[in-house]
Amino acid sequence: MPLPDPDAAHPIILPDGTAHAGTVHLAKVIDHPCIEVGAFSYASDFDPPEPDGWAARLAPYHFPFSQDRLVIGRFCQIAHGVRFIGASANHETRGISSYPFAVFDPERMAGFQPDTRDIVIGNDVWLGYGARVLAGARIGHGVIVGAGAVVRGEVPDYAVVTGNPGTVARMRFKESEIARLASLAWWDWPVATIDAARSALEAGDVAALERFAPA
């Protein structure tokens, strides 16, 4: 079975031949100036929005005029209930009051955004059911975020993050293997090569994966 068609909005075809409406390739359904999604990254939802509603569902505070960005790499997997809480949601906290007075003043509203930190998600990241990713988060490649975790700050490549606040529960591979995987960057390989290497990717065999690396 080949890899899913990255140009298909709905990558999962059910046994009866119909497309599963609750799972989408995000790059095909999100057209937003502040959101960038790599190929093959998908999201699933038990109550899927209209095709043009996925950006608002996943990142409700990323407005077209927001000064922060959401960047999601390739081959990411985003479960039901995941939300990216962008910097546009944050209030100014250096004053006596955190009340956003400027939001209600048309003359001051333009350009008012106290926090402009981006959210950057690496490649091959699995965000579990109901996870929350906060402004400024930098999630490395191959990370697994547990169900309900609340993630902020930097998460190293191939970590498993759980809890609130999200903390690294364990690393998925040895330090030497993580360095090799970062160098291989399999998600950037030609699609045919990735398809050929699926057995190694599914087995967790770093040495086997290296044998498929393009020359």
Q: What's the topology of domain 23-172?
A: UDP N-Acetylglucosamine Acyltransferase; domain 1 (2.160.10)
Which of 25, 32, 62, 91 is catalytic? The answer is 91
110: closest CA among 45, 160, 65?
65
Q: How do residues 65-116 score in pLDDT, each as one tens digit?
A: 999 999 999 999 999 999 999 999 999 999 999 999 999 998 888 778 999 9
CA 78 – CA 205 distance, rounded (Å): 24
Global confidence as pTM: 0.95
Q: Where in the sequence of the chain do the CATH 2.160.10.10 domains occur?
A: 23-172
74: closest CA among 34, 41, 121, 28?
41
**pLDDT, position 1:** 61
150: closest CA among 124, 132, 136, 137?
132
The gap between the terminal CA atoms of the chain, to the nearest Å, is 25
25 a catalytic residue: no
**pLDDT, position 168:** 98
Query: Average pLDDT, stretch 19-26?
Result: 96
